[in-house]
Amino acid sequence: GDSVTQTEGLVTLTEGLPVMLNCTYQSTYSPFLFWYVQHLNEAPKLLLKSFTDNKRPEHQGFHATLHKSSSSFHLQKSSAQLSDSALYYCALSDLNNNNAPRFGAGTKLSVKP
Amino acid sequence: GGIITQTPKFLIGQEGQKLTLKCQQNFNHDTMYWYRQDSGKGLRLIYYSITENDLQKGDLSEGYDASREKKSSFSLTVTSAQKNEMAVFLCASSPKGSGNTLYFGEGSRLIVV
């Protein structure tokens, strides 16, 4: 079945440094990948999602590239801000199977001054 | 824009009790979902519904029932509350043609005493 792996439970870094949060997946059919962000005491909300035409999605300085050869969709940002501190979830939806999205365990990003 | 409303925000019950969480959306989305959020385990799918009166089991459906009474509402029942079930329950909906992009409610926290 479909699954998502986020290997880092907690990432702590200093403001201004680059961010990379890992996401790998297993999918039987045509995967659609998402990153959701959840700030403290708020609902998760969509940060970005993969395109079917291999374009690189970007939002609020974050970007991610779907690499089917390595089954990865890592989230990156060139310079972390204090306001980026939050919980980040990678999720997978299988287009051909109309399966509900499955999530990774989440990565807590903590940005320090 | 629309909103997803989950009630109650906090649900306190006794062990063995049957407890119900409710979710309403005014996006007019077809598909609705219930996820359970536990720290370090990500979001796990309990039930989802593609349309009114449809129910699909997720990965964590045992011990839960769900009901999609109408397009705008989706309820989740814990059939016999246990202390190890204390978690946040998130309701979400997704529009057609979005690749199952999720719009979340703010969550309901279940406390079992």
pLDDT in tens, B75-98: 999 999 998 888 999 999 999 878
Averaged pLDDT score across all residues of chain A: 91
Smallest CA–CA distance, residue A43 to chain B, in Å, is 4
Using CB atoms, pick whichever of A42, A101, A106 lies closest to residue B102.
Answer: A101
Give the residue numbers spanning the domain of B105.
4-112
Amino acid at B48: Y
CATH label of the domain that carries residue B106? 2.60.40.10
Query: Count of domains in chain B?
Result: 1
Torsion of CA A90, A95, A98, A101, to 10 degrees: 0
Amino acid at B35: Y
Using CB atoms, pick whichever of B48, B99, B106 lies closest to residue A95.
Answer: B99
Contacts of B9 in chain A (CB under 8 A): none
Let me know the angle formed at the C-alpha of A109 by A59 and A78, rounded to the nearest 5 degrees.
45
| Domains with residue ranges and CATH for chain A | 3-112 (2.60.40.10)
Amino acid at B73: S
- Could you report the per-residue pLDDT of B39-67, keeping only the tens digit for each? 888 999 999 999 999 999 999 999 999 99
CA distance B71 to B53: 8
E strands in A22-96: 24-26, 31-38, 45-49, 58-59, 62-64, 75-77, 86-94
- Could you report the per-residue pLDDT of A52-105, keeping only the tens digit for each? 666 677 788 999 988 888 999 999 999 999 999 999 999 999 876 667 999 999
DSSP-derived 3-state class of residue A60: coil
Contact B42 A6 (CB under 8 A): yes
